[in-house]
Amino acid sequence: MNTKKLANNLLILGIVLLIAAVCWWASFYGPIAHKLGVDLMRADSCLYSNGGLCKVAVGIAQLAGQTPYNPIVCWLGAGCAAVGALLKLS
pLDDT at 35: 87
Map out the domains of the chain as residue ranges: 3-89
> Which of the residues in the chain have pLDDT under 70?
1
Q: How far apart are CA 8 and CA 14, in angstroms?
A: 10
Handedness of CA 44, 49, 53, 54 (dihedral sign): positive
pLDDT at 52: 85
Q: How far apart are CA 90 and CA 17, in angstroms?
A: 23
pLDDT at 90: 85
Q: Is 70 exposed, middle or buried (0-12, 13-18, 19+ CB in 10 A)?
A: middle
pLDDT at 1: 67
Q: What is the pLDDT of residues 15-24, one digit of tens each?
A: 999 999 999 9
pLDDT at 36: 86
Going by C-alpha positions, the residue among 10, 27, 30 that lies closest to residue 80 is: 10
